[in-house]
Structure 1
């Protein structure tokens, strides 16, 4: 799980993994996130790096720090994250992906044929 890539700082990658845990429902609203020490140990990173990832989640308002108890997912966080991540995808990722699709002269039929069955488009 400690397979980091060099294109982004490690704390950003950890933040993204935590976001994905919340979006997948692995950690529900009101639930505690794994501790800084637990994540740092599992990923073999400095605890300050993990703390920075948590602080980024606090800054966007989806996680709250409870003194002496740890970090908890706030009520409504999943919905806020979904909206935030969708907007980010559409404004940052999609234009690059769409340009690559056009450059490769791919069509929708070809692309949709490659989508795994359980992740296919919703009707």
Structure 2
């Protein structure tokens, strides 16, 4: 049964990681028009072998996008400098939408794996009862 619990743990760690990724993507989309906002990104790390669950992942620290923010011309904006420009955000909505879809599909794949393991475990229990 430990193989089933390991598979469930790996799947659950993937679900948590993708949920956190989707949270940061939604924050980026919500702040796309916020002046000076820097896009947040996360990366995944394999958990250490000491935990006993090979293949599980965790989310590493949040990283801020270091690219130069776009300069927007709007002399009436309160943050505009003497040339009429202010710094926009580093969020590109097309990238965020693509990241959201990727996170959603990865979440669904982990959920499907979790369900398959659960069904296999239930089937094994049915066989053992006979």
TM-score (norm 1): 0.34
Bigger-Rg structure (1/2) = 2
Of Structure 1 and Structure 2, which has the larger fraction of its residues in helix?
1
Structure with larger RCO (C-alpha < 8 A, sep 6+): 2
Of Structure 1 and Structure 2, which has the larger fraction of its residues in strand?
2
